[in-house]
Structure 1
Amino acid sequence: MADIRIGLVGAGLIGITHMETIARTDGFRLTGIVDPGPSAAEITKARGVPLHASVEAMIAAGDADGVIVATPNELHVSISAQLLEAGLPVLLEKPIANTVAKAAALLAVADRTGAPLLVGHHRRHNPIIRAAKKAIAEGAIGKLVMASVVCSLYKGGDYFSTAWRRQPGVGGRCSSI
């Protein structure tokens, strides 16, 4: 069986994590990257894949069976909509959008095109979350009938050195819901 060909839009911190995961996972192959950043050419050269000048160029290349979108949040809707319109399945990093209205618009595109849209909730694979799930499943905390859960994970100061992560409505803070 041939590898599933994966394109990537966004070669930053999360994009690199996706590249590493693809590289160590049988049955998948990274086939191209879109990223305007200064290190993108070096990253694509090291991975042996083309650097596409735009999402349109990636679509035109026809070498992706699906695409991961790991861009700054404000680009999620426009890029994902383009890919879905081209019939490409999308794995979109969270959040879907910066507003509920924009998220609903993207879901409407997915519904209309029939192209799969999956939102990456990677925290469900965090060891802390897995341990909690195991404790619940094994009855270690009794029979669960209701829960109110808060999970806080530390992100070091270097995480916020990227400007878009500090801008209201773009990074970790919503402008309006």
Structure 2
Amino acid sequence: MDDLKLGVIGLGVRSTLADLAHRPGAGSRLVACCDRDPQMLEKARQRFGPDVTTTTDHRELLHADLDGVFVLTPDHTHEPIGVEFLQAGIPVFLEKPLAITTAGCDRLLAVARTSGTPLYVGHNMRHMPVVVAMRKLIEEGAIGSVKAIWCRHFVGHGGDFYFRDWHADRRNTTGLLLQKGAHDIDVIHWLGGGYSRRVNGMGGLVVYGDITSRRDRAGERMTDWLDPEHNWPPSSLRDLNPVVDVEDLSMMQMRLDNGVFASYQQCHFTPDYWRNYTVIGTEGRLENFGDAEGATIKVWNRRSDYRADADLELPIPKQEGWHGGADPRLVEEFLHFIRTGAATVTSPVAAREAVAAGYAATMSLRDGGRAVDVPPPATEVATYFANGQTEDASAGSLVREAERRR
């Protein structure tokens, strides 16, 4: 089997995905890299070999005879770069979020359909062991029929991760309720079995907006300034991005199309860093404690007052690889998908629905918390992706059967 020839655009933190895909002689290899930083391109030659093509202009990769490309660039560039490669017929791995507006997502999905080019979105949390285990418990009826989902996201390194670079500028992200929340909104939809159709949001820039120490970090990477041991309390942080106009505290409520109600809370100045899901059904409740190595899922099915001991406790075993072993599975799924067109756990339509909910909630948050309806995708586009990125409905039945078996 010949190696798939792959390219990567953006050699920042998430380019570890490209490292996972670089398997010369074993099925896939990186042959072309793009980044605006010449130093990163020099390091790329060390990572992927001296023969790798390097460029500061991603358009040069359009003619590099690629079998697939990883787009791992800042969020506001996902839409234009993704469109170019889809139109060129090159299968695209697009890091989440799919885009920073609902309209941007819809444009990408429409171009993928009209061009017939495979599109894959990097929602790695669908491969995280703790999320997979929660979904399995729900499917097995451990808590009956799901009626409510609550998610609290404690972003303990939020200042370092999101307020010292481009993330802090809403022109690049719309806001962190969308950018960071797209993961959790997608998981809420996946666990709840539906998509948000009405949302509202509240929140604000309540800590980092008061910090006046700012500077341009052009040419730097997050790993240059990340310091998990210090930078505490959050108000002591210095050298923030010149523009800081995204919220550091956000909350949203959702009503899904199947009647499930959900809420999501995100805070970027907590001392701890993890996310907690609570899923309530007609016959019980489940909750995760921790979301990586050492995490446990607890299920309560009997009436009682407060008790820490659950009726079922499921420890999550350690997995190798970033994000609890999710990233290797994500890359493996993408490579298998572009080779075979097989069904995937991730979904471009679901990625669009996560952005649409986060975008609508951000608009609500900035307009007094009013309720906002979330528009569904065009029927013909949703059908195309439900049919396995084909207009053939019979192929779709095979995709859905494969998904059911998963």
Report the TM range for the smaller structure's normalisation: 0.7 to 0.9
1:61 maps to 64
- Structure 1 unpaired stretches of 5+: none
Larger gyration radius, structure 1 or structure 2: 2
Q: For residues 156 and 86 of structure 2, what CA distance do their matches in structure 1 show?
A: 32
Label 1:114 to 1:172 Cα distance change in 2 as closer, same or farther (>3 A).
same
2:82 maps to 80
2:2 maps to 2
SS at match of 1:5: strand
Please state how far the C-alpha of 1:162 moved relative to its aligned partner.
4.9
Please state how far the C-alpha of 1:153 moved relative to its aligned partner.
5.8
Higher mean C-alpha deviation, range 164-173 or range 42-51: 164-173
Q: For residues 21 and 154 of structure 1, what CA distance do their matches in structure 2 show?
A: 26
SS at match of 1:115: coil
Q: Structure 1, residues 110-134: CA drift from partner, whole Å, max 9, x if none?
A: 1111111111111112232123134
Of structures 1 and 2, the one scoring higher in RCO (CA 8 A, sep 6+) is: 2
Higher mean C-alpha deviation, range 153-162 or range 41-50: 153-162
Conserved? CA contact 2:41–2:55, under 8 Å: no
Please state how far the C-alpha of 1:172 moved relative to its aligned partner.
7.0
Q: For residues 156 and 78 of structure 2, what CA distance do their matches in structure 1 show?
A: 22
Q: Which residue identity lines up with residue 22 of structure 1 in the other structure? A: A
Please state how far the C-alpha of 1:53 moved relative to its aligned partner.
3.1
Label 1:108 to 1:5 Cα distance change in 2 as closer, same or farther (>3 A).
same
The percent identity for this pair of structures is: 34
1:21 maps to 20
Greater strand fraction, Structure 1 or Structure 2:
2
How many residues are matched?
174
Q: Structure 1, residues 47-82: CA drift from partner, whole Å, max 9, x if none?
A: 2122123222112222x1011111101100110111
Conserved? CA contact 2:34–2:41, under 8 Å: no
Structural mapping, 1:1-177, within 5 Å: 1-15=1-15, 17-23=16-22, 26-46=26-46, 47-48=48-49, 49-62=52-65, 64-139=66-141, 141-150=142-151, 152=153, 154=155, 156=157, 157-160=159-162, 162-171=164-173, 173=175, 177=360
- Structure 2 unpaired stretches of 5+: 179-245, 247-358, 361-406
SS at match of 1:2: coil
TM-score, normalisation: structure 1: 0.84
Conserved? CA contact 1:44–1:50, under 8 Å: no
